Structure 1
Amino acid sequence: MPIDPVKAVAAEPRTAEIGWGHKDVQLYHLGIGAGVPATDPGELRYTLESRLQVLPSFATVAGAGMAMMGGLAAPGIDVDLAHVLHGGQAVELHRPLPVEGSATTTARVAAVYDKTKAAVVVLRTEVADADGPLWTSEAQIFVRGEGGFGGERGPSGRLPDPAREPDRTVDRRVREDQALLYRLSGDWNPLHADPGFAALAGFDRPILHGLCTYGITLKAVVDTLLDGDASRVTRYATRFAGVAFPGETLRVRMWREPHRVRAAVSAPERDEAPVLADTVIDHS
C-alpha cells in the first residue's frame, strides 16, 4: 500500500529553512486576484512595496510551499499526484507576518485517517523565526483510492451555516489565467494547468488551486468586514467542499460573530455549487 499510516506518523519531523521577500508577497497577492483596480488605495496595500501588508494565507506558500510537498514525500507516503486533492486547510497566526523574513519550518504527518474510499493525510507545520513562533498550519490532504486500511475515520469538522441571511455577500471574478499566475508561488501540480493531466484526475479542464480560492476568500473577508487590516486575522480554517474553475465567479457569503467571521463560498454559474465550507476567520 502506498500509504503506511504507522510509519508516516512515527517518522521524525522534517525541518527546513525558508525565506521570503516583498516580491514573493506581491506575487502571491496578484495570484489571488489583488490589484484590481490597479491604483485603488485598498489594492495598493497588497501590491505596492511601500504600503505592503501580508495576508495570513501567504503562510501556505512561504518558502514556495515546501512544507506540504515535503510532507507528501515523508516516509510511509507514496502517492500519485493525480489522486491528490486538498481537503482542508487551517493557519493559526502567532503574530502578523512580516513582509521580509526567514524562518525554520518543522513539519510532520500528524495523522492518517481512513475514509473508506480515500485516505486523509494531516500535515502539521510549525514555523518560527529568531523572534519566536510565527504560525502553525495544518493541511488535510485527500488521497483517492487509498482508504480501506482499517484506520480511524477522524473527527468531523462540519459546521452548519448560521440560520440567518448573510451579513454581507460579495462576488469575486476569477481570471482565466489565475491558476497559471498562482502556480508561480510554488504549487506546480499540473492538475491546475495541463488539460491532459486534469482529465486523468477526472476533470474536463484544469481546476483552480484550492489554496488560491482560500486566499481569494480571506482577502474578500478582510476587505469587506475587517477594514482591510490583514493583521487582525488570528486564525483561518476551511474545508474544500468542491472545485472552482478559472474564469468563473466565486460568491462569498459572510456572517459576523463575536471576534469571528463565518463564511461559505459557492460558484453561482454552476447553481451555487459549494466550493468552500466550514470556513472560520478568527480576528482581534
Structure 2
Amino acid sequence: MAVNPSDIPVQNSSGRYDNVDFKKATGFEYPPIKCSYNRRDVLIFANAIGIPSEELHFMYELDPHFSVFPTFASNLAFKQTDHDVFDFIQRTTTTPVPGVPPADPQRSVDGERGIEIVRPLPTSSEGLDLEIRGKVLGVYDRGGNMILEAEQSLLDVKTNTVYTKMSSTAFCVGQGGYGGPRGQSKPVIKVPETKPDAVHLYNTLPEQAALYRLCGDYNPLHADGEFGKRAGFKGKILQGLCTWNIAAHGILQKLGGSDPSRFKSFTARFKSVVYPGDILETRMWKTSTHTDLEHINFETIVKGDGRVALSNGYAILRRPGGHSSKI
C-alpha cells in the first residue's frame, strides 16, 4: 500500500514530529516481504534455540522425520532472502507508516509475539514463492510511549497456501505523547498458584546471542557490549525472540512429546531482559482440554534472581493422534 506523502510526519526543530495521527495507520498494509530458506537455516535455528541432539528430527537432515521447528518462521521477516549478514538497523527502519513517526530502533523493543501454525513448513523453501504480508492493526499512545500492533501471514503466492499467522506488538519507548488513542489493554493471563505440570530448564550459553544472530536478528544490541551499555543495559543482551523460541521448544518437549504436528499456537509478552548465560526456567500449567486441544498457561523466569522474562504465556497443543507434520 503506497503512503501518501502528505500523511508522513515531518520532524521539527525540537526533534518531535508534526502531522502525527496514529489513527491513519490502522489497516495499513506493508509491502510484501520475500523470504526463502534452506535446510542449513533450519538446522541453525534448531541449534540456536537449544534443541538437544536427542531430538534428531529437528537436528539431522537425514533423519526420516526431519522437520522444521514450528516457530521457525518467527525470524523470516528479518532474514528475508539473505544468506549473508546485513544492516539490521537499516532494514528495520525503511517502511513509513501513515501518520506515524519513524520508530527509533535503539529505543524500540518487542512487546509481545504470537504465532499460529496453519500448515507445517517444508524443510526448505525450494519450489515455493514465499511472502510475508503484514498489516497494522493499530497504533496507540500510552504514557509517552508508542505501541504498534500488527499481524503477518506467511504464504506461498504460487498457490495462496498460508503456512503461519503471526502477531506482534512493538513498544517504542518515549516515542509517543501525541495524544493518540490508548487502545484496549489485553487481558492478563495469570499462571495458577499450584505446582506446574512441567518445568523446562535451559542454561543459555555466553555465546547464545551470537549464535541466534545467524537466524537473521543482526541487531548490534546482541553482539556489541558497548552498544548495549549505551542502550541502558549491562552489556549485550539475548534476543527476546531467542528466549521466546526457547520457551516454545520447552513446551513442545515437555508436554508435546517433541512432535511438531502437535504445535498449534504460542504467544507471550516480553517482560524483562535476558543476558547470555542466564538460566531460563519455563513453568507450564495445563489449564483445560477441549476435545483434541490442550490449553497451556506458562511463564519464563530467570533462575537465580527470579525476574520474569516472559509473561502472559499461552500455548495450544493438539492432542496425540492428530495429523502429522513430518516432512
Give the TM-score, by structure 2 length: 0.79
Q: Which residue of 1 aligns with 2:168?
A: 139
In structure 2, the partner of 1:26 is: 43
SS in 1 for 2:237: coil
Superposed, which structure 2 residues align to 1:79-118 within 5 Å? 79-101=103-125, 102=128, 103-118=130-145
- The counterpart of 1:186, out of the listed 216, 219, 224, is 216
Cα 1:55–1:239, aligned 2, differ >3 Å: closer, same or farther?
same
Q: Counterpart in 2 of 1:263?
A: 298
- Say yes or no: does 1:148 pair with 2:177: yes
Alignment of 1:1-284 (within 5 A): 1=16, 5-9=22-26, 11-34=28-51, 36=52, 38=53, 40=54, 42=55, 44-51=56-63, 52-62=66-76, 64-66=78-80, 72-75=93-96, 76-101=100-125, 102=128, 103-129=130-156, 130=159, 132-154=161-183, 155-257=185-287, 258=289, 259-270=294-305, 272-284=306-318
Contact (CA 8 Å) 1:93, 1:135: kept in 2 or not? yes
Distance between the aligned counterparts of 1:9 and 1:166, measured in 2? 39
Structure 1 alignment gaps of length 5 or more: none
1:8 CA displacement: 3.6
Aligned to 1:14, the other structure's residue is in SS state: coil
Residues 178-214 of structure 1: CA deviation (Å, up to 9, x unaligned) = 0001011111111111111111211011111010001
What is the Cα deviation at residue 22 of structure 1? 1.1
Instruction: Give, in whole Å, the separation in 1 of the partners of 2:71 and 2:187.
Output: 20
Cα separation, 2, equivalents of 1:12 and 1:71: 16
- Quick one: structure 1 residues 54 and 77, their matched pair in 2 at CA, closer, same or farther if it must change by over 3 Å? farther
Cα distance between partner residues in 1 of 2:209 and 2:49:
9
What does the per-residue CA deviation read over 1:16-54, in whole Å, with 9 as the maximum and x for residues that have no partner?
Answer: 2211121111111111112x4x4x2x2x22210123212
Number of corresponding residues = 278
The alignment partner of 1:62 has SS state of helix
Letter of the aligned partner of 2:75 in structure 1?
V
Does the CA-based 8 Å contact 2:21-2:180 persist in structure 1?
Answer: no
Unpaired segments ≥5 residues, structure 2: 1-15, 82-87, 319-327
Partner SS state of residue 95, structure 1: coil
Letter in 2 for 1:265: T
Identical residues among aligned pairs (%): 28
